[in-house]
Amino acid sequence: MGDHAVVLGAGIAGLLVARVLADSFERVTVVDRDELDGAVGVQPRRGAPQGRHAHAILAGGLQVIEELLPGTTDDLVAGGAALGDVLGDVRLCANGHALKQAPTGLPALAVSRPYLESYLRSRLAALPAITLRGGHDVVGIEVNDARTRVVGALVQRRAQGSGAESVAADLVVDATGFGSRTPRWLAEWGYEPPAQERLVVNIGYASRHYRIGRERLGGDMAIIIGPTRAHPRGGVIQVQEQGRAIVTLFGILGDHPPVDDAGFEAFAETLPLPYVADAIRGATALDDVVLYRHPGSTRLRYDRLRRFPGGLLVIGDAVCSFNPMYGQGMTVAALEAARARDSYGDAPGFFRAIRPLVDAPWQVATGGDLMFPAVQGPRPVPLRLINRYLSRLHAAATHDAVLSEAFIRVTNLIAPPQSLLRPDLAMRVLRG
């Protein structure tokens, strides 16, 4: 057991890895620029502007959270979150096709990111080993004289006249998101920074809340409409706590939703299928439209580095930030946090361990983005063939629940993408 671990960042990745490390360290300190407390609420953190938009905790991620913090699902549902089946209670529309709905036994939880984060903070605040230290900027990471090992973090209170403070640590975890400065610090210490893989889609998504219940969604807890080649726009409507529903609309390559009332609803009318527009037509809006822009998917290949300082890990969006329209980020962060239990003392081993956890969603996100001709990137023959196959699978899945379930297991990070190529499924696609 170590003495002290410091986690930089109090998003999903930071909170969950702190919970994991609390089993191996006497003290775990979580540092974030936002003020942190143990209160449960629905207000987004200023440092996480994407928290104002629809988020998904996929079935694979929910399993991890339940293992780390038993009773989470029941508590969140008691607080107003909706619980259902990932296919039986979620209407998923891919490539212009509404997939046939059927029960799968996999749970789906409809919850806002601010409510989920605040609940996780409340659970961590109750653990004696964990300290939440909000209102502090991360100024830097400290290394020993030989620059072979990280020995602490430099933090500074967000108050006038405050100076930098050194916080000694046996382990520092960078969970600061896609704005992580670890690549720059590595270069300053004389290490090779990780290579970067990037696919730019210039997505913009706009959201607002409405007074809408499940009855207006035909009993479903969420409706997800993905873009098509002909109509590269999409949208999500998801019921949440407090009797609200969030509507998030998105477009790629600069085709971003307007933020005025009329423009927002007109954008919804242009989606490939009418379900979201039908649900919000005449509904009461509860707040203003907010817009968020994201460049696309970015992956830092820490798994390929030959040298890396001891006492440092990088996790979550700081390793790989996905195009948010696929809803993978929180779940991948949870899966990575669980792997830290066995390999926190071996950074290269940790990066190798999480590589397959990133490979599958990366393949899903980048492969899906490259379906659009205007997105710049390599399209080898296998990728083009797979995208054609998926288009046929989605069409066949409108009336074939076996194909619907196979696809939903992949999107929920339960099964690998190659499982969709099984001979029995391929035969159903061809017949369909």
96 Cα distance to chain centroid:
24
How many residues are listed for the chain in this entry?
Answer: 432
Q: How would you class 432 by CB atoms within 10 Å of its CB: exposed for 0-12, middle for 13-18, buried for 19 or more?
A: middle
CATH of 2-57+115-195+301-358, one of 3.40.228.10, 3.30.420.40, 3.50.50.60, 3.30.470.20: 3.50.50.60
Task: Give ranges for CATH 3.30.9.10 in the chain.
Answer: 200-294
Helix (H, G, I), strand (E, B) or coil at 299: strand
pLDDT value, residue 39:
67
CB atoms within 10 A of CB 179: 10
Ramachandran category for residue 296: left, alpha or beta (phi over 0 → left; psi -120 to 50 → alpha): left
Global model pTM greater than 0.85: yes
pLDDT value, residue 46:
75
Per the listing, tokens 């964990």 go with 130
Domain 200-294: what homologous superfamily? D-Amino Acid Oxidase, subunit A, domain 2 (3.30.9.10)
Q: Give the contacts of 93 (CB within 8 A, at least 6 positions apart).
A: 99, 223, 224, 225, 226, 272, 273, 275
CB 93 within 8 A of CB 221: no
CB 410 within 8 A of CB 419: yes
Amino acid at 167: V
pLDDT value, residue 47:
72
Q: Give the contacts of 65 (CB within 8 A, at least 6 positions apart).
A: 16, 57, 72, 120, 334
pLDDT value, residue 42:
65
Q: Give the contacts of 272 (CB within 8 A, at least 6 positions apart).
A: 93, 96, 225, 226, 227, 228, 230, 231, 233, 234
Question: Cα(350)–Cα(319) distance, rounded to whole angstroms?
Answer: 12
Q: Give the contacts of 277 (CB within 8 A, at least 6 positions apart).
A: 265, 268, 269, 271
DSSP 7-44: EE--SHHHHHHHHHHTTTEEEEEEE-SS---S----PP
The pLDDT tens digits of the residues spanning 366-391 come to 999 999 999 999 999 999 999 999 99
pLDDT value, residue 242:
87
Task: Give ranges for CATH 3.50.50.60 in the chain.
Answer: 2-57+115-195+301-358
Q: Report the chain (432 residues): mean pLDDT per 10 consecutive residues.
A: 91 97 97 83 72 89 96 96 96 96 96 94 96 94 96 91 89 95 97 96 95 94 94 95 94 95 96 96 95 94 97 97 93 96 91 96 93 91 92 97 97 94 96 85
The pLDDT tens digits of the residues spanning 159-213 come to 877 888 899 999 999 999 989 999 999 999 999 999 999 999 999 999 999 999 9
Half-sphere exposure of 419 (CA within 13 A, CB side): 18
